[in-house]
Amino acid sequence: MLTLPLYSLLIIYGLFLLAFLFFFFTNVAHIFSTGSLTFASFMVMLFIIIATIATLWLTWLFLSGADWTQGITIFNKNWFGSGTLQNQIY
Q: pTM here? A: 0.70
Per-residue pLDDT band for 83 (boundaries 50, 70, 90) equals low
Residue 40: CB atoms within 10 Å: 9
CA angle 26, 62, 11 (to 5 degrees): 50
Q: Do 5 and 69 touch, CB atoms closer than 8 A?
A: yes
**Residue-wise pLDDT tens digits, 3-58:** 889 899 999 999 999 999 999 999 889 988 888 888 998 898 899 999 999 999 99
Domain ranges across the chain: 2-79
Per-residue pLDDT band for 85 (boundaries 50, 70, 90) equals low
Decide which of 86 and 23 is more confident.
Answer: 23
Total count of residues recorded for the chain: 90
Per-residue pLDDT band for 86 (boundaries 50, 70, 90) equals low
| Element containing residue 86 per DSSP (H, E) | none
| Mean pLDDT on 62-79 | 85
